[in-house]
Chain A
Amino acid sequence: MQTNFTEDQLREPGIARANEILRACVHCGFCTATCPSYQVLGDELDSPRGRIYLIKDMLESGRPADAETVSHIDRCLGCLACMTTCPSGVHYMHLVDHARAHIEKTWTRPWPERLLRGALARILPYPGRFRWAMVGAKLARPFRRLVPDARARAMLDMARAPIAAPSAMDQPQVHPAAGPRRGRVVLMTGCAQKALDADINAATIRLLTRLGIEVVIPEGEGCCGALVHHMGREEEAKQFAARNICTWMAQMEGLDAIVINTSGCGTTVKDYGHIFRNDPLAEAAAEVSAKAKDITEFLATLDLPAPERHGMRIAYHAACSLQHGQKVTAAPKTLLQAAGYEVSSPADAHLCCGSAGTYNLMQPEIAAELGRRKAGTLMALQPEAIAAGNIGCMTQIGARSGVPVVHTVELLDWAWGGPEPAKLAQG
C-alpha cells in the first residue's frame, strides 16, 4: 500500500517500522473475515483493515489522536487472529502497539476512563494490591446495580472468582528436580494469575520437577509488562520488562527455557527483543525472548512417561495469545491426547473469547457477546471440562460455561502423577 511519510518522519524508528508494515499491506481484506470485533459490529472501522487505515492516516498526518480513531483502536482485542490470516505477513501487533503509544501520548481521555485505566495499571500487575482490590470489590458487589458505568460493573463482576491465598510454592526459590536432573528452567510466576488462581503455578512446578526439571523462581521477576503495554504506556511496560530481563539474565547459564504458563504474558516476553531493539538492553532482551517458551511448548520437547489415563472429554480452548500471538497450536492438544484425554476443538476456534487482557473490563458489551459465543461453541461439544492455557480466558469462559475450566497444565499434571485439579473435584 502506498504511504506518505516525509524523510524526517521516517528517521524516527517507530515510524520507520510502521511504514514497513503498512507497505506490506495490500488491503486485500482477508483480515476482516477472522476479526472478532468485526464479526460482532460489522463496520470495517472495527476490523484490522479499517484500523490500519485509521492508523496510517493518523501517523502520516502526524496529528494527535482523535475520539473517533481512539474508539476504533480501543475496540481491537489485540487477539492477533488477523496476523494468522494475513497472506502478506503484515505485523499488525507492532503497528497497533505503536498506535496505542501514540494515542497515550497525544490524546487526553475523559476522566472516568483515565481513572479506570490508571487504577488497572496500578493494581493488576501487583498480586498483593490485586488481592486487596478483589476484597474491596467483593464488599461492593451487592451494590453493583447502583454503579452507572458498565466498565466499573465489569470490574466488580470479576470479584465473583474466589481470591487465591498467596502460595508458598511460587515464592522465590529453587524447586529441585525429583530424581536425576534432566534440565533447568526459570518459571515466570506472573502477577494477576497468582492472585486469581494459585493452582496453575503449583501444577506447573509439580509436573516439571516430577519430570526431572529443576524449576527456578528468581527473586525480582514480576509482571511482564503486557497489561500496561496494551494501554500504550510504553515506558512503564519497559520498566517491568527491563527488570525481568536483568533478573533472568542472571540465570542464563545452563538454562533450558524461561517457562510461561500465561500465554498473554508469553506473547509479550517473546516480543521483548523487538521492544528493546533500539536500546542498550537489545541483546539481552533478544536472548530472553529466544528462551521464552509456553509450558506446553516446553513439555512437548520432553520424553514423557506413560500417563495415568482419566479418559475425560475435554474441550480445548485455544487462547489467542497462544494460537495467534505465539503460533503454538498443536502442542497443547497433542499433549492432552497423549495424556489420555479425549480432546475436541470448537467451531470458530480461531475467534477470541473476549477476555483479551483488560478488554473485558474496558469493552464489556463486545466482550460479553464474544464470551457468550465462545461458551456456546465450547458447550456444543458436550465436554466434561474445558482446558485453556491463559488465566484471562479461563475466567471469561468460566463465568459462562456450565463445566469447570482448568489450565491445560493442571490436566497434564494430573495425568502424570499429580492430584486431581481442585476445580474438577469441586465441579
Chain B
Amino acid sequence: MELPSPNPAILDRRAEIVARLKAALPAGTVIDDPRGLVAYECDALTAYRCPPLAVALPRSTQEVAEALKICHEMGVPVVPRGAGTSLAGGSLPTGDAVVIGVARLTRVLETDYADRIIRVETGRTNLSVTGAVEADGFFYAPDPSSQLACAISGNIGMNSGGAHCLKYGVTTNNLLGVTMVLMDGTVVEIGGAHMDAGDLDLLSVICGSEGQLGIVTEATLRILPKPEGARPVLMGFGSSRVAGACVSDIIEAGVLPVAIEFMDRPCIRACEAFAHAGYPDVEALLIIEVEGSPAEIDHQLRLIRGIAERHGPEVIRESTTAEESAAIWLGRKSAFGAMGQINDYMCLDGTIPVTELPLVLERIGELSAQYGLGVANVFHAGDGNMHPLILFDANKPGDLELCEQMGADILKLCVEVGGCLTGEHGVGVEKRDLMTVQFSEDDLEAQLKVKDVFDPKWLLNAAKVFPLAVTEGRRP
C-alpha cells in the first residue's frame, strides 16, 4: 500500500508548526517527541505505519478549533483520531500530518430520557455511552465488536455497525445531531435532538465520511429502553453453505432476531482452544439472539428452530439461563483474540446480499487454497456483513503482500455479487485502491466534489478513501 510521500515544504516548517500549536493550546496537549510519536504511527491495522509530524490531544471543541485553524492557515494536513481502533487504517497518519485526537473529550453533556436522547463528547467510548444510561434502563444500540474501546467519533466517521444492527440499524440510524469543527476552525451544528433533518440531510453525509469533512466533537445520540430480556440459540451445521441458506430463510420468513452471527470451522476451533466455550466441532455455527418478553422470545425461537430444522442441523442448543447465554457468546466475543493467538491476521469487512452467502463462502474457500493462506470466517450474517480473517505471518517477508492480494480478491468478489467494499470499518487506507472496482470515474468525481465543499484545501485525512491517483490534483 502506497502512502503519499510527505511534503518537504511542510516538514521544513515542523518546528514552527509545533511552536504555534503549543502556543495556542494548554501545556501537555501537543506531542512532538519522536519516541512519543511512534505510538501514534498506526491504529488497529498495524500493517501500515507512519509516525505523524505531531499529535494534539485537545480537551474541548474550542481547542480542536484552535488546532485546526492553525493547520489550515499553515496548510498542514490533519488526520483525526478517536480511540485508534480502526481496522481499515482510518487514523493512519502521513509523515507531514498533525494527528488531532479527541480521546480527552469524554463528557456526557445531556441526558433526556423523555425524549430518549443523550448528548456526549465524541471521545467517549461506545460502551460507556450505554454505561451512562444503563442504570436507568436505557442503552445505545450500535455495538461494534470493539465497543469497549472504540470512540463515538470513529463510529460516526465509519458509520459503524455491530452484531445488533440487524434490528436497530447502524450508527447513521441512531445519530441525531453533531457539533463539527470544519478544517478552517469554524464550528457548525448539524441536526439536533430529533429524527430527520428539516432541510438537506447533511448529517447523512457526515456520518461515514471517514474524517474527511470535519472533526465531530459532540454528538446527540438516540437511546432506547432496554428490552425485557434476550436469549441466544446456537446451531451447528455440516457446511457453510447450509448455514448460509438457513440465514437466508430466517430473514425471508420475516423473523427479526437482534443478531445472527456466523463462525466457520477454523474460527470455531481457534475460539474453542482459546476460550473453552464448549462449542461443537462442526463446519459452521450460527448464534442467533432474539429479545423481548419471555413469551416473545419463546415464540421467535420456536419459529427459528422450525426453519433451522429443515436444514438438518447437527446441533441446536437453546440457552435457558444467563450463564448459558454468556457461554454461547463467550467464544464469539473471543474470536479476534483467539485468531491473534494463532497468527497475525487481516480482518476484512465487506457486505453482500444475504442470499449470496453460500456462494461467497465457497469462493473464499477456493481463494484460501489458491493463495495458501488460512481464512477464518466470523461475521454478522444477518445483514450480510462479512469479516473474513486472513491469517499470515507478519515476520515472514512477502506474506503481507500475498494477504493484501487475497483480501482484494475477496472484496472484489463482494462487489461482483452485488455487495460493497465495506460494512462498518470504512474504506480507510486498506480499501482505498479498490474504490475503482465499485465506482466509475463519474461516481468518484461526485464524491470528491462533496469533500471540495467542506475542505477545499483537501487537508483532512486526504490520503484515505480515494485512490491517490484520483485525488492527485486536489491534495496539497
Contact = CB atoms under 8 A, between A and B. Distances in A.
Contact of A88 (B36, B39, B150, B340): B340
Contact of A24 (B57, B127, B340): B340
Contacts of A87: 333-334, 336-338, 340
B249 to A, nearest CB: 32
B39 A42 contact: no
Contact of A45 (B39, B83, B344, B395): B39
Contacts of A34: 148
B57 to A, nearest CB: 6
Given A32-B83, A88-B340, A2 B394 contact: yes
A222 B178 CA distance: 59
7 contacts: A1-B46, A1-B344, A29-B44, A29-B146, A43-B57, A44-B39, A88-B337
Contacts of B40: 44
B344 A68 contact: no
Nearest to A72: B36
Interface in A360-413: none
Given A33-B125, A86-B337, A2 B35 contact: no
A68 B31 CA distance: 11
B103 interface: yes
Most buried by A among B43, B274, B333, B395: B395
Interface stretch (A48-56, A151-159, A167-175): A48-56
Contacts of B103: 42-44
Interface in B47-97: 57, 83-85
B106 to A, nearest CB: 8
Given A27-B44, A30-B149, A45-B36, A2 B395 contact: yes
Closest 6 CB pairs of A and B: A87-B337, A2-B394, A42-B104, A33-B149, A88-B337, A88-B340
Contacts of B340: 24-26, 87-88
A57 interface: yes
A329 interface: no
B44 A28 contact: yes
A69 interface: yes
A28 B333 CA distance: 14
Interface in A56-101: 57, 66, 68-69, 72, 85-89
Contact of B146 (A25, A28, A54, A88): A28
Given A1-B394, A3-B395, A33-B125, A44 B84 contact: yes
Interface in B369-397: 394-395
Interface string A153-188: 000000000000000000000000000000000000
B186 interface: no
Contacts of A53: 38-39
B466 interface: no
A44 B33 CA distance: 14
A374 B127 CA distance: 20
A27 B146 contact: no
Given A33-B148, A87-B334, A27 B42 contact: yes
A89 B334 CA distance: 10
Contact of A27 (B46, B57, B150, B333): B46
B341 interface: yes
Given A30-B148, A43-B57, A89 B35 contact: no
Given A32-B83, A43-B57, A86-B337, A50 B35 contact: no
A153 B26 CA distance: 27
B262 interface: no
A2 B85 contact: no
Interface string A1-33: 111000000000000000000011111111111
Contacts of B28: 43
A26 B336 CA distance: 9
B146 A30 contact: yes
Contacts of B337: 26, 86-89
Interface residues of B, number: 39
A69 B35 contact: yes
B395 A26 contact: no
A57 to B, nearest CB: 6
B341 A24 contact: yes
Given A86-B337, A88-B337, A29 B83 contact: yes
Nearest to A348: B131
Given A24-B340, A68-B33, A29 B149 contact: yes
Contacts of A50: 39
A26 B345 contact: yes
A85 B148 contact: yes
A2 B31 contact: no
Contacts of B333: 87
Nearest to A31: B149
A123 B21 CA distance: 45
Interface in B343-387: 344-345
Contact of A28 (B36, B123, B336): B336
Interface string B141-166: 00000101110000000000000000
A27 B91 CA distance: 13
Nearest to B41: A53
B112 to A, nearest CB: 21
Contacts of B42: 27
A50 B336 CA distance: 20
Most buried by B among A25, A28, A45: A28
A53 B42 CA distance: 11
A57 B38 CA distance: 8
A43 B32 CA distance: 13
A118 to B, nearest CB: 27
Given A26-B345, A29-B84, A53-B39, 20 more contacts: A2-B46, A26-B44, A26-B336, A26-B340, A26-B344, A27-B44, A28-B85, A28-B146, A29-B43, A32-B149, A33-B83, A33-B127, A33-B149, A34-B148, A44-B39, A45-B36, A68-B35, A72-B36, A85-B148, A87-B334
Most buried by A among B36, B104, B274, B394: B36
Nearest to B106: A42
Contacts of A66: 35
Nearest to A26: B340
A57 B85 contact: no
Contacts of B125: 33
Contacts of B46: 1-2, 26-27
A89 B344 CA distance: 14
Contact of B35 (A25, A32, A54): A54
Nearest to B345: A26
Contacts of A88: 336-337, 340-341
A42 to B, nearest CB: 4
A68 B340 CA distance: 30
B149 A42 contact: no
B384 to A, nearest CB: 24
A155 to B, nearest CB: 26
Contacts of B338: 87
Interface string B385-423: 000000000110000000000000000000000000000
A23 B393 CA distance: 10
Contacts of B43: 27, 29
B244 to A, nearest CB: 26
A26 B274 CA distance: 15
A54 B149 contact: no
A68 B85 contact: no
A84 to B, nearest CB: 11
Given A29-B84, A42-B104, A89 B341 contact: yes
Most buried by B among A23, A43, A72: A43
A32 B104 CA distance: 12
Interface string B318-338: 000000000000000110111
A49 B146 CA distance: 15
Contact of A54 (B38, B123, B274, B395): B38
B4 to A, nearest CB: 22
A31 B146 CA distance: 11
